[in-house]
Amino acid sequence: MQIRIHQIGPGMVQQIQCAHGASHEERTSPKDKCKNCNGRKIVREKILEVHTDNGMEDGQKLTVHGEGNQEPGLKPGDIIIVLEQKDHVAFTRRGEDLFMCMDIQLVEALCGLQKPVSPLDNQTIVITSHPGQTVKRGDIKCVLYEGMPTYHQLYEKGCLIIEYKANFPENGFLSPDKLSLLEKLLPERKDVEETDEMDQVEPVDFDPNQERRLCYN
């Protein structure tokens, strides 16, 4: 508290009490003021280093005690940090597992494949299927212990889940003689015995945005 006494006349004084905080009582020379806070004893920003553990999830909270809003004479609060997980270009996280789609060519689906993949620990692994082990479009496989680390369990990790998407070559990539040779190598197809009541139709490419009309004869 600061007390000021002013003389207002002969033998008469006026006493004024100032109830402002300590920051208003002090008088500091301008040259001695802190350049960061300009004598206010507080600063507007501070850099904090926050440690995150392996396996922490989106939305998980971290509390930094005693680093919240600070003012002279008041107990500082806490800073609560909410983690926000960024999307990855190749992997999607599902709990402790990592999910990815893998595009493969028809020859890889039928004759075996070797695909290098770099999980999040930057150690490259080679996804392999052996010749004669056919990989169908939509097949889902998993590689154990190549997913996300388990939170607070140092040596536990989830799976890397792979969905295969076999890409077929464009029309006309094989000549008729090569098609005939390929047909001999593949399992035999079933021929349909046509009758007079049957009609042959050839489907066209489907466009969901194109207007379609039903015609009745």
Q: What is the mean pLDDT of the chain?
A: 78
Q: How far is CA 56 from CA 83, 159, 199, in A?
A: 8, 16, 61
pLDDT band at 98; cut points 50, 70, 90: very high
The pLDDT, as a whole number, for residue 5 is: 44
Calculate mean pLDDT across residues 4-24. Answer: 46
pLDDT band at 103; cut points 50, 70, 90: very high
Calculate mean pLDDT across residues 21-26. Answer: 48
Residue 159: name the closest of 150, 146, 172 by CA.
146
Residue 10 has pLDDT above 50, yes or no: no
Return residue ranges of the chain for CATH 2.60.260.20: 92-167
The pLDDT, as a whole number, for residue 21 is: 42
Residue 8 has pLDDT above 60, yes or no: no
> Going along the chain, which residue ranges are E strands?
2-9, 12-18, 61-64, 79-82, 92-94, 97-105, 113-117, 125-129, 140-143, 149-150, 153-157, 160-167
177: enclosing H helix or E strand: helix 176-185
Please tell me the number of Cα atoms within 13 Å of 191 on its side-chain side. 3
CATH topology assigned to domain 92-167: HSP40/DNAj peptide-binding domain (2.60.260)
pLDDT band at 214; cut points 50, 70, 90: low
The pLDDT, as a whole number, for residue 126 is: 94
The number of beta carbons lying within 10 Å of the beta carbon of residue 165 is 12
pLDDT in tens, 158-193: 999 999 998 888 887 888 888 888 888 888 888 888
The pLDDT, as a whole number, for residue 42 is: 60
- Report which of residues 186 and 69 the model is more confident about: 186
The number of beta carbons lying within 10 Å of the beta carbon of residue 108 is 18
Q: For the stretch 111-144, what's the b/e string if a residue is b when 16 or more beta carbons lie within 10 angstroms of its beta carbon?
A: eebeeebebeeeeeeebebeeeeebeeebeeeee
pTM confidence score: 0.63
